[in-house]
Amino acid sequence: MAKAELLAASAGSRPVPGWRRLLWLLPPLLLIAVLGLALRQPELHSQGSYVFGTRVQLSIYGVSAEEAGRAENAVFSLFEDMHHSLHAWQPSELMRMNAALAAGKPFPASPRLAEILRAAQALSRQSQGLFDPGIGRLIQLWGFQDDQFNDSHFPTDAAVQALMAQHPGIADLQIAADGTVSSRKRVVAVDLGGFAKGWALDLAAARLRQLGVNNALIDVGGNLLALGSKGGEPWQVGIQHPRTSGLLATLELQDGEAIGTSGDYYRYFSHGGIRYCHILDPRSGYPAQQSQAVTVLADPGQHAGALSDGASKAPFIGGPAHALTLSRATGVNKVLMVDATGQVWLSHAMAARLHWPGSKPAIHWLDGG
């Protein structure tokens, strides 16, 4: 996925190596004062790992190293469990469900999977079907259900059209009150790659609060959710430029807010001089070509993380003419888009939150200007 990135200023802030060697030079009373200040000074604890096929990082502020360690273990254990439960092409509960649907059989989903599927269906309806995790077979056809992908997977038009003629989609799932999942169409296969990372943000935030951690920044592959602040200062995050190695913009995440980006520069291949990204248009069966990147900022809420992950897909596919209408339908009004030609589009609500580390680009308004 295209990524919002944690700024270097929010990275680890542990003492500079070698400082202990200087303490013996201080007078005893001053030494006691310095050590006392160090013991009282809150510390930023940062830990990274590799889950969901992407880099994840957890930054915790204002608790002891022991408390931070317990929280980190709990969160990364949660992430690993979700990874093994929701993976689309490695053994998982989701794969077992897709196999059952392909065989025309009902599947008894776990409460967590059933809840995620219901939420994904609702978001798909709100986005006029442009966000659709039910096109897993199409994603597989294009070769994106793999850790490595290139144009050797480029499908024929006939193969795409044959699959699209069957109209697969998450709307075809029936999810019973007890969590049993079935489908009228055997061609439906669910891929939660555009939703699960955001859902993981929400579960991680809830777990951290349970453990008494009120100040943290959770980063799952560039989808970020903020808790509290870093010493009274908002968490600073950066939005990656889709065509350079630098940042396009920065912003301050407030308590409970989440930011997510969809882009064509992370999972893609080139064929015939054209870039084909992993975000597919459910209407055509082909990779979306309207945008380079779309970033949305979700307001605090129980599922802010999942919303920030899923709500960026429809504007990316729909392009600037429909981006804000599609995002507002999901409850999001803060949108940044870089369209296929590299032009920058903003909603006024998002513009009010952004800072430009370099020269400010020419702005086009999604909601008029």
Q: Does any domain span residue 173?
A: yes
Q: Does any domain span residue 18?
A: no
Terminal CA-CA length for the chain = 30
**How many structural domains is the chain composed of?**
1
Ranges 32-46, 246-260, 306-320: which has the least confidence: 32-46
Task: Centre a 10 Å sphere on the Cβ of residue 96 and count the other Cβ atoms it contains.
Answer: 13
CA distances from 247 to 225, 241, 350 (A): 19, 5, 16
Q: Does any domain span residue 32?
A: no
Question: For 55-71, what is each residue's pLDDT tens digit?
Answer: 999 999 999 999 999 99
Q: Are 242 and 87 in contact (CB under 8 A)?
A: no
Residue positions counted in the chain: 369
Q: Does any domain span residue 26?
A: no
Residue 34: band (very low, low, confident or very high) from pLDDT cuts 50, 70, 90: very low
Residue 299 three-state SS: coil
- Strands of 344-346's sheet, edge to edge? 44-51, 54-61, 216-220, 223-227, 258-263, 291-298, 334-339, 344-346, 363-365
Q: Does any domain span residue 21?
A: no
Q: What was the pLDDT predicted at 266? A: 87
Q: What was the pLDDT predicted at 249? A: 98
Mean pLDDT of 331-360: 97
Mean pLDDT of 159-185: 97
Q: Does any domain span residue 34?
A: no
CATH number of 351's domain: 3.10.520.10
Q: Does any domain span residue 68?
A: yes
How high does pLDDT run on average in the chain? Answer: 90
Residue 301 has pLDDT above 90, yes or no: yes
Which domain range does residue 297 map to? Answer: 1-13+43-369
Residue 13 has pLDDT above 50, yes or no: no
Stated pTM of the model: 0.88
Residue 18 has pLDDT above 60, yes or no: no
Q: Does any domain span residue 37?
A: no
